[in-house]
Amino acid sequence: MAQKGGVQLDREAFSCCISLDLLKDPFKSSGNDVSALQSLTKYVPRPEPMNRKLVEEALQRSITRMQVDRLDCVQFHWWDYKDKRYLDALGHLSDLQQEGLIRELALTNFDTRRLEEITSRGIRISSNQVQYSLIDQRPAAKMEEFCLANNIQLLTYGTLAGGLLSERYLGKAEPTSRAELYTASLSKYKNMINSWGGWSLFQDLLVALETAARRHDCSVASVATRYVLDRPAVGGVIVGCRLGVAGAGQHISDSLRSCSPDLKLTVEDLADITAVTQRSRDLSALIGDCGDEYRS
């Protein structure tokens, strides 16, 4: 383990080829091959005129901080669709990509309508980061089809509902207090479960997942992750590394197990899971398309 600025860096995570969006120096000091690192960053500008100089300066700051020659991926987010200056920003990002400053241009939490608007302008988008889990399957409504038709991959988060989709909550009473929902993620995804169908239905889902996990000798988290990875437009699942937290090694093992070609959900597994999820509410009707929960 190496430590810098209060952040512990896990050698096991690095050796497992999990790309980390961190500076190079801590890895150099612990003897790791920094050439294996990929430089990924988010760009979430404040609402103001999006001229070329402003956008390029933001990218150059990231390049300097991460000590790289170019950015492997820039994920762009914009809060207000009514403010169309996001199209100006993306136009400049696209130009900078063609000039070699960016390898992949991506989005976070954009809906299908805006994704279509952006790509129709000739802006090449490689991925869109959206919430996708057994609880929240909104991407399957419209987003997946568009992405498949336009060679765009989904990078998904919330796939384990902040940790709620695990054995830890199987057969447990519904958590309601701040002490029980002690992270922002737990509180957020517990609210999503409430909208989806409630704690009782969620327990039925955990039972189905635990049954599948026993068949495959893996964890509930591995089954939940594998389910989303198998969706046609999904290119990857984002799972927190829990660097420096007790039990992180098991967490990494679960993540790697879910990616193993040996883990293949069966027709029986999928039938058991679908028997539960089909009893849930339609979150697309309740919330809207991907990312709509972040916008009024």
pLDDT, tens digit (0-9, with 9 covering 90-100), for 136-157: 999 999 999 999 999 999 999 9
Separation between Cα atoms, residue 14 and residue 115, nearest integer Å: 33
Please determine, for residue 15, whether its predicted confidence score (pLDDT) is greater than 60. no
Task: Specify the DSSP element, H or E, that contains 155.
Answer: strand 153-157
Q: Is residue 214 part of a domain?
A: yes
Q: Is residue 75 part of a domain?
A: no
Query: CA triplet 94, 58, 61: central angle to 5 degrees?
Result: 125
Contacts of 8 (CB under 8 A, 6+ apart): 1, 2, 243, 244
Assigned token pair, 222: 């591995």
Contacts of 117 (CB under 8 A, 6+ apart): 87
Confidence (pLDDT) at 52: 98
Structural domain that includes position 179? 160-285
Assigned token pair, 261: 């070609």
Mean pLDDT of the chain, nearest integer: 88
Q: Is residue 224 part of a domain?
A: yes
Q: Is residue 83 part of a domain?
A: no
- Looking at the structure of the chain, the number of domains it has is 1
SS3 of residue 209 by DSSP: helix
What is the DSSP secondary structure assignment for residue 217, as one 8-state letter?
T
Separation between Cα atoms, residue 138 and residue 110, nearest integer Å: 13
Assigned token pair, 289: 């398309």
Q: Is residue 69 part of a domain?
A: no
Confidence (pLDDT) at 34: 60
Task: Specify the DSSP element, H or E, that contains 284.
Answer: helix 283-286
- Sorting pLDDT into bands at 50, 70 and 90, what band is 21? very low
Assigned token pair, 182: 């002690």
Confidence (pLDDT) at 57: 98
**Confidence (pTM):** 0.86
Q: Is residue 15 part of a domain?
A: no
Q: What is the pLDDT of residues 105-114, one digit of tens each?
A: 999 999 999 9
Q: What are phi and psi of 274, to 5 degrees?
A: -65, -30
Q: Is residue 113 part of a domain?
A: no
8 bridge partner residues: 3
Q: Is residue 208 part of a domain?
A: yes
By the 10 Å C-beta count (0-12 exposed, 13-18 middle, 19+ buried), 5 is classed as exposed
Give 113 or 256, the one with higher predicted confidence: 113
